[in-house]
Structures are given as structure tokens and as C-alpha cells.
Amino acid sequence: MERRSFLKMSAALSAAATVSGCNSSSKDIEEVAPSKGATEEVMNWSACLCNCGSNCPLKVFSKDGKIVRIETDDTGDDSWGNHQIRACARGRSNRKRVYNPDRLLYPMKQMGERGDESTFQRITWEQAISEIGSQLKGIYDTYGARSVLRHYASGAYYDLNGSNAWQRLLNCMGGSLGYYGSYSSAQVGRMIPLIYGSGARSTIAEVQHSDLCFFIGYNPLEMRQSGSGEGYEFNYYREKNNIKTIIIDCRYSDSLAGKDNMEYHACRPGTDAAMISGMAYHLITNNLIDENFLTTKCYGFRAEDALPEKGLEALPYERSYEAYILGVGELDNTPKTPEWAAAICGVPADQIRQLAEQLAAANAPYIALGYGVQRQANGEYNVWAASALAMLVGAVGKRGTNTGGYMPNSSNGGISSGMSTVVKDGPALETAQISVFTWPDAILDGKNMTVFKDGVMHLSPEELDADGNGRLNVDIKAIINFAGNTLINQHSDCFGTAEILKQKDKCELIVVSENHMTPSAKFADYLLPDSTWLESEDIANGSYSSGSMGLITPMTTSLEPLGDCRKSWEVCAALADVMGVGGLFHGGLSYQETLEKYYVDVIAPKSTELPATLQEFQNNGKLFKKFKENSESECGLYGYVQNGGELATASGRIELFSHAVDFMSKHWEKPDYVIGLHIPPIPAYIVTWEGYEDPSPEIADMKLQLIGHHTKGRTHSSFHSVQWLREATHDAVWVNPADAKGFVDGDYVIVESLRGKVRVKAHVTNRIMPGVCDLAQGAWFKPENGVDVGGCVNTLTAYRPSPIAKANPQHTNRVRIYKA
Ligand SMILES: Nc1nc2c(c(=O)[nH]1)N[C@H]1C(S)=C(S)[C@@H](COP(=O)(O)OP(=O)(O)OC[C@H]3O[C@@H](n4cnc5c(=O)[nH]c(N)nc54)[C@H](O)[C@@H]3O)O[C@H]1N2
Ligand SMILES: Nc1nc2c(c(=O)[nH]1)N[C@H]1C(S)=C(S)[C@@H](COP(=O)(O)OP(=O)(O)OC[C@H]3O[C@@H](n4cnc5c(=O)[nH]c(N)nc54)[C@H](O)[C@@H]3O)O[C@H]1N2
Ligand SMILES: [Mo]
């Protein structure tokens, strides 16, 4: 598709142009969409590429180059396995998103202080490309690839365009500072390989063989909403097979609401490992454990002999998991009775016993942990504790089970997708990685970040001492932020992070590519207006959580990008030319040619049923859907448990005691905010800063624990500015009636933590347990006189990396609430 020239555009759109480069009126901006081509209504397949785990296909109907309406998938007969992938309210609101008044239309340069929207100045693409190109090249030349970060950002799940294009550009220059983990699942992603030797878990389809779903903070019906997502699939099997389901959550989630055969238990945030320890005590002392599984397949339940061939010394009983639970271990001498657990987690002791009994009685319990439970100050240990629960009852590697500490995944029809960012014949790539969450430290003092203090990984061997410690030695000097709001809104401590980003002598260059004027966009030095999904040609895959139904969508468009928006691939290709790596980046091919080649090389080979060329695939006008029947390979660790062999853990078995973690507990530095156990080598319950049990005087009047769940009204902060969705789901802090002191439902209140204050409406409801409150994450940070009137939960959250993964503890907060 031809992109119109800047001159032509600026003449046509001068009426709509504003200094800030986005429409100033509050009306939708369909009027700035150019009239073009077909006066007849046409339909193009496109997709909703937000990060909910399912790239739902969309039928985009347009006329005169403007979207007139959006429909969702209506192909197939809608029987199971041939079902329609119907988009949720967010997917259906995409017309509003494209024409939203805050849509960015022109490249802009910050002429004042970072964060100040009023001092952006509109510039040409030519200026943007030449200035960014020379500054970025200069940073590579002066500080090296390790000083450049392509920031974590999950806004657009394209195959070819988007983040892949940006990473490809950086890879042409020698790569960039890497990060491990994601804001979603950093703790679980770090822990599960330590426990199981791999990312072991089961697909959601495996629940069909289960007789008991035991979900800890797993909320599939709100966070997997697609018509072919894990939520739909779970509910299908749950209803079909009448599977008893138990959900442990501090919030009565939509996964529970109005369903039969469900049991709910309210557990305080960050205390699941205590509840599980109480269950473990009951299981052990009543001989309800799977002895054979624990002794043959697991390591560290009781004492272990030395394993010299693996370099492991003997494990004395007092270091074992059972000793910890019975109160005769090295960590403490408290038996973890259900009464002990109840006082911490809030689930009554007899309910804890009854939960243990139900689990032991089930044939194939499917235990799963939502990611919210690991987005805690002790997240790693909630993961490990939930895994321990599965081990105790032998609910691993048997049809119908999961591995406990992990959220289910999807087979996605057996077709995965996604463009490789590998550059053929490119330079060697930087290997060093920090945790996804610790980039502010790397801006302020990356040089002194270390393996043992900050969890730095993959330094070169000569940078490490004999123990394996070493320094990063470089500060971040440039940030590329494509399709992310984690610079401010989705990271912790918005006010604190803003102060770090404002220091231009620290990070010298911030480039943001966006569709909307988000809180993070305001911190750009250069703000690049991107075309939206519906204005782009690409291939969309089914993303990562679309259940058993695989999907490939030929994304075509009859729309021109609004204003002077440009697709990222073209921007990166132009930057590559300026930086002297154009040949490596594009090899002389246009975007269209690259997409055609990508289709032939990567997509077409996925199935003989796919047409040979992109053109045929697009002209067919059909989605490619492929349902995969569930098989034993979808059951996590089925091979190890049923057929034997060794896992890639230190002991070769599933670990209830980890020597690798024990090494960390001995060598890693303890941050000054840690108040409980620091990196114990078994799945113990850890008392944390700002957890239920934190006795610190500075939070003595902040009695309420605060979480921020993922709401149906947004995907993170994406869609926040879409008014339809703000009307459909109301943002408010959920408070139990027992905690609503001095205010009533609907009042404006101040929610205050040590980091700052947020002004929001209160929703007084029994759906949140007493002592806990919930402000759904993703609302946009909007400071006014030192108070965030936008209602962003991250104004309240802390930048305190978790113990092992050094990750985001954003559901661990203590606050007070009072009438505004
Ligand atoms: N509608 C919608 N869907 C989404 C997203 C979205 O923003 N909106 N985001 C997508 C992404 S990227 C991700 S990573 C996933 C996120 O999925 P999750 O991380 O699993 O979602 P959360 O809402 O953070 O947490 C899930 C549930 O855990 C509960 N919870 C929080 N802390 C605790 C705890 O300590 N113990 C227990 N037992 N329960 C707890 C919350 O009340 C919530 O109901 O969702 C994806 N899907
Ligand atoms: N307190 C708290 N904070 C959290 C969480 C939590 O549970 N609690 N959850 C965390 C999790 S799980 C995640 S995954 C992160 C998510 O954090 P992010 O990855 O920052 O996700 P979004 O907030 O959705 O921001 C995506 C941005 O991409 C933009 N975008 C969308 N499409 C395009 C495109 O085609 N081009 C360009 N250039 N831009 C586009 C959108 O406008 C949006 O501003 O948040 C984390 N933050
Ligand atoms: Mo996420």
C-alpha cells in the first residue's frame, strides 16, 4: 500500500493538526481519515493484537477509506472444534480505538522537560529519522550495545511489523541489553525451571481428564476472554464434564460468578504459601500424601543421601520440606498447622483441612496458579508452594493434572508463529541480561549492578569471578519503547520512575512509538506515531493462549494510516539506512516483499492446507483455523512421571529442596527492604514488606492490602482511552463494607501508600475480602497537584524487586483509604 507524502498530508489535514500532534477535540476523528477508493462497503480481515493471549480476528467493514463497523469471526458451524473465535468487548471497540481523539498523528520532538505534553513540537519524519539515527548510532559507538534497551512492551502482537522490526534493527547494530522474564510471569518463569528443570505445565485442554480443578488466583473467564481462549475452553470442559472447581482468591472473580459446582475461599494476598503449608501439615500428619511419588520423583521431601555424581552433598532431615512443615526444621520451630495458617491467610482452619481432604480424594487434581499470585513480594515462593501441593498428592505427570505452580498454556492448534529477529550474516549479539523489572537501576547505576545483588545474567566468562559474581559495567543510555506503557504506567512507583526518566544526563535518548498519548509517551524525546493494527498488513497468529484452536489471519486493510502515521517496519528500515545497516536490515526489499517472503519461508510450511503465496492467502479471504485434539504430550512432565528418566534439575528430580536456591541464599545480597526469610531453599511461607504481617511503624495506619487485578475493560493500559469501555466497566477501588469507614459506595476517595496518592471512586462490595482492596491495573497516571487523579494503581506500588527473579511485586502493597 502506498503511503501518502508528508506534504500532501499536511495540506489535507492542516485543520486537524495541533501543536501536540494529536487531536485536541474530544470527538472521534473519523473526519481526518482520508477518503479513498471504494465507495462500496468492503470487508478486510484484521486482528486485535493486544496482549490478552488471543489475537482475535476482526472483520473490518469500511467505505471511502473509513471503518464503518466491526464484526467478529462467524466462520465455521460453531460446534466445538469448529467454533467461532468471537472477540470480546475490547476487540469489538477497535473502531473507537482507531478514531480515538488522543490518536497520535505526527512525529514529535520534546523541546522541554520529559513528561510535559505541552512542549512537544511537531517535526517531519525526515528530521525524526535523521536525528534518532545519528543519536542512536552515536550511543552504540560511545557506550556499546549493552547501553541500549528495547524496553519490555506488549502492546502489539504482530508477526513481522512492530517489536520484531525494532529488535531486528538493534540486532543489525550488535543487539541490545537483554532482559529475562516479563511483567506477566517473571517469578514463575524463573522458578519453574529451578523446580522442574524446564517450563513444565499442561495445556488447558488437559482439564477434560480432571475430576477437580484447584485454582489459586487463576481467573480464566476475565483474563482469557476470547471466543477461542483458555477461558472459553476451560468453561466448555467444566460444564460438559461437570468438573468440581475450587478457586482461592482474595476477590470473588467472574470465573466464579453464577456458576454451579464451584467453591470459593478467600485468601489474603501474598499468603497462599501459608495456606498451602497448612494443607501440607494436614496431608502429612493424616497420611494423605503420595509417598511413592515424593520419594521416587521428588527431591528434598525428607533427608537425601549424597549424590556425588551430581556434586550434591547429603541433605539432612532438618533442611527438608517435611521438617519445615512439622516445625522441626532449620528455618523455625513452628508446626505449620491449619490453625497457624488460618491466622495468616484468613481461610478458616477447618476449611484448610477440608481443602486438603478434597485434594487427596481427587483422582486427577488440576492445580493451577494465576500470575497475580506470583506478582507479589514473595511471588517465587507462592509458585514453589503451589508446586509442592501438586507433589504432595502426586498430581503431576498424570492425565488431567497440571504442575501446580504454573498457569495452563495452549496448544494453539499445534501451529506457532512469530518472526525471528535473527539477522543473517549480522554481527555477534550482546548477551548480558537484566531482569525485566530492574531497568531503572540500570539507568541510574547499571555499572554497579551485579549477579548477586541484582540477578544480572549472561555476562561473558571473563567478567565473572570464581563464585560466578560479576558486574554489568554499563548504564542504559538509550531506550526504544515500542507499544508499551511500562516506562511509567505499567511499571511500579509512577512518581518515582518519572523522576528517574527526567534526568537527561542519565538515559540520553528515549524513543517512543505509539498510537495514543499515553503517560509513557509523554516521556519520549521523539514520539513516533504508528499505524494501528487495522491500518496494517501483516500475518497474525493466534497468540499464546488461544486454547486448542490455532489461527493464522491474513491481515489486510483498505485504510490509509491516519495523519502521518507510519508502520514500524518502514521506520526501522529508514533508521537502518541512516545508521549504515540498511542492507542488513532490509536487503533492498520493501515491506510488502519482505512480508511475501516471510509468508513463503515461515507461514506456508506450517500446513499443506495453506496456499503457497501470500497473495493467494489474502485473496482467499479466509482465516486459517486448525483445532488440535488433546494428547498426552499436553500433560506437563507426563514422560518423566510415566516413563522415567531424569529432569534437568540439580538432583535430576522435581525439587522440594533446591541446592541452586541454597547457593543464592548463601551468596546473594539481601536488600534492605526484606523483613522475613531471604531466599530459603524450600517452598516456605515468607513474611514480606507491606504484606499482611508487616509490623513496620511507617505503615501502621495503612492496614489494607491492595492488589490490582486485570479488568475486562482494558488490556493493561491499552483501550483505557476508549470511552465505550470506560462506560461498560467502571473504574473504582473495591473495598469490603467492613473497611468502608467514612465513605460510601460511589464516593471519591484517596488511596494512599508510601509512594503516593490516587483519587478514585470507591466501590463498596462483598466481592473483595475484608482487609483487602483492589484497584484494577491499567488506568492512566494523571498527576494533578501531587495526586494521581487518573487512578493508576502503579502510583501506589513499589519498585522493590522480588528475591530471586528480581521481578515486579505489584500486588504487594499496604494502603489507607479515606474520603477525598
Ligand atoms: N481482560 C483482561 N485480560 C487480560 C489482561 C488484561 O489486562 N485484561 N492482561 C493479560 C496479561 S498480559 C496477563 S499476564 C494475564 C494476567 O493474569 P493474572 O496475572 O492471573 O491476572 P491478575 O488479575 O493479576 O490476577 C488473577 C487473580 O489473582 C487474584 N490474586 C491477586 N493476588 C493474589 C494472591 O496473592 N493470592 C490469590 N489466591 N489470589 C490473588 C486477583 O484477585 C485476580 O482475580 O491476563 C491477560 N488477560
Ligand atoms: N500494578 C500492576 N502493574 C502491572 C500489572 C499488574 O498486574 N499490576 N501487570 C503487568 C503485566 S502482566 C503486563 S504484561 C504489563 C503490560 O504493560 P505494557 O506492555 O506496557 O502493556 P499496555 O499497558 O497494554 O501498553 C501497550 C501500549 O502499546 C500501545 N500500542 C498498541 N498497539 C500498538 C501498535 O500497533 N503500535 C504502537 N506503536 N503502539 C501500540 C498501546 O496504545 C499501549 O499504550 O503491565 C504490568 N503492570
Ligand atoms: Mo502480562
Please say if the pLDDT value at position 8 is more than 80: no
Look at residue 32 in the predicted model and tell me its pLDDT: 62
Please work out whether the CB of residue 21 comes within 6 Å of at least one atom of ligand 2: no
Q: What are the start and end residues of each CATH 3.40.50.740 domain in the chain? A: 108-183+424-622
The conformation of residue 409, written as its DSSP 8-state character, comes to B
Q: What is the pLDDT of residue 39?
A: 80
Ligand nearest to the CA of 810: 2
> Mean pLDDT across the stretch 607-633?
96
Residue intervals in the chain for CATH 3.40.228.10: 187-411+635-667
Q: Give residues with Cβ within 8 angstroms of 110, minimum separation 6.
A: 116, 119, 120, 121, 524, 525, 526, 527
Residue 22 scores a pLDDT above 60: no
Task: Tell me which of 486, 536, 813 to substitute to probe ligand 2's pocket, judged by most ligand atoms within 8 Å of the beta carbon.
Answer: 486
Question: How many C-beta atoms surround the C-beta of residue 194 within 10 A?
Answer: 18
Nearest Cα neighbor of 701 from 819, 792, 818, 788 is 818
791 lines ligand 2 (CB under 6 A): no
- Residues 95 and 517: their CA atoms lie apart, in Å, by 17
Q: Residue 163 pLDDT more than 50?
A: yes
573/125 Cα distance (integer angstroms): 13
Length of the chain as a residue count: 820
Residues 710, 52: Cα–Cα separation, whole Å: 10
Q: Where along the chain do the CATH 2.40.40.20 domains lie?
A: 697-819
- pLDDT bucket at 14, cuts 50 / 70 / 90: very low
Average pLDDT of span 312-327: 98
For domain 697-819, which CATH number applies: 3.40.50.300, 3.30.300.250, 1.10.3720.10, 2.40.40.20? 2.40.40.20
Give the pLDDT score at 739: 98
- Domain spanning 187-411+635-667: which superfamily? Dimethylsulfoxide Reductase, domain 2 (3.40.228.10)
* pLDDT per residue as tens digits for the range 678-721: 999 999 999 999 999 999 999 999 999 999 999 999 999 999 99
Q: Which ligand is nearest to the CA of 809?
A: 2
Look at residue 4 in the predicted model and tell me its pLDDT. 37
CA atoms of 524 and 526, how far apart (whole Å): 5
What atom in ligand 2 is closest to the CA of residue 717?
A: 23
CA 711–ligand 1 middle distance (angstroms) = 8
Class of domain 108-183+424-622: alpha beta
Mutate to test the pocket of ligand 1, among 688, 710, 714 (most ligand atoms within 8 A of CB): 710
Query: In which band, very low, low, confident or very high, does the pLDDT at 169 lie, cut at 50, 70 and 90?
Result: very high
pLDDT digits (tens, 9 = 90+) for 65-85: 999 999 999 999 999 999 999
pLDDT for 10 beyond 50: no
330 vs 45, 321, 334, 614, 677, CA distance in Å? Answer: 61, 10, 11, 63, 12
- Our answer on whether the CB atom of 184 is closer than 6 Å to any ligand 2 atom is yes
With a 6 Å cutoff on the Cβ, whether 753 touches ligand 2 is no
485, 543, 731, 758, best to mutate for ligand 2 pocket (most atoms within 8 Å of CB)? 485
Distance CA 202, CA 55 (A): 21
- The Cα–Cα gap between 614 and 689 comes to 54
Determine which residue's CA is closest to atom 23 belonging to ligand 2: 717
Which of 30-39, 78-87, 358-367 has the least mean pLDDT?
Answer: 30-39
Cα 370 to averaged position of ligand 1 atoms, centre (Å) = 6
Choose the residue to mutate in 716, 810, 812 for probing ligand 2, maximizing ligand atoms within 8 Å of C-beta: 716
In the chain, the N- to C-terminal Cα span, in Å, equals 52
DSSP conformation letters of 642-685: HH----SSSSSSEESS-HHHHHHHHHSPPPTT--S--S-SS---
Choose one of 707, 733, 735, 813 to mutate for the ligand 1 pocket test, by most ligand atoms within 8 angstroms of C-beta: 707
Looking at residue 139, what is its pLDDT?
A: 98
**119 Cα to the center of ligand 3, angstroms:** 32
How far, in Å, from the CA of 778 to the mean position of ligand 2? 8
Decide whether any atom of ligand 1 lies within 6 Å of the 371 Cβ: yes
Residue owning the nearest CA to atom 35 of ligand 1:
269
Q: Is 185 close to ligand 2, i.e. is its CB under 6 Å away?
A: no
User: Is the confidence at residue 357, as pLDDT, over 70?
Assistant: yes
CA separation for the pair 41, 50 (Å, rounded): 26
For residues 167 and 178, the answer to whether their CB atoms sit within 8 Å is: no
Per residue in 111-139, pLDDT tens? 999 999 999 999 999 999 999 999 999 99
Query: Rounded to the nearest whole angstrom, what is the distance from the C-alpha of residue 501 to the centroid of ligand 1?
Result: 28
Ligand 1, closest atom to CA 248? 38
Q: Stretch 792-813: mean pLDDT, rounded?
A: 98
Contact 545, 224 (CB under 8 A): yes
Q: Say if residue 614's pLDDT is above 60.
A: yes
Taking only the tens place, the pLDDT of each residue in 386-443 is 999 999 999 999 999 999 999 999 999 988 766 666 677 789 999 999 999 999 999 9
Q: What is the whole-number distance in angstroms between the Cα of residue 54 and the centre of ligand 3?
A: 12
Asked whether 809 and 376 are in contact (CB, 8 A), the reply is: yes
Q: How many angstroms separate the alpha carbon of residue 139 from the centre of ligand 2?
A: 27
Ligand 1 pocket, 542 CB below 6 A? Answer: no
The reply to whether ligand 1 has any atom less than 6 angstroms from the CB of 265 is: no
> Ligand nearest 512 Cα, by number?
2
- Structure confidence at residue 38 as a pLDDT band (50, 70, 90): low
Using the mean position of ligand 3's atoms as its centre, give its distance from the Cα of residue 415 in Å: 22
| 490 pocket-lining for ligand 2 (C-beta < 6 Å) | yes
- How much is the mean pLDDT over the chain? 94
Q: Please state at what angle helix 349-361 crosses helix 272-285, rounded to 10 degrees.
A: 60
CB distance 760 to 782 below 8 Å: no
Q: 40 CA distance to ligand 1 centroid (A)?
A: 43
Q: Nearest to residue 228, comparing CAs of 625, 627, 543, 547?
A: 547
Which residue is closest in CA terms to ligand 1's atom 25? 372
Q: What pLDDT sits at residue 26?
A: 61
pLDDT band at 625 (very low <50, low <70, confident <90, very high): very high
| Percentage of the chain exceeding pLDDT 90 | 93
Regarding the beta carbon of 51 and ligand 1, being less than 6 Å apart is answered yes
* Maximum CA extent, the chain: 80
Q: Does the structure show a pLDDT above 90 at 34?
A: no
What pLDDT score was predicted for residue 19?
A: 42
Residue 403, ligand 2, Cβ within 6 A: no
- Cβ 116 vs Cβ 522: under 8 Å: yes
Report the share of the chain in percent with pLDDT over 70. Answer: 95
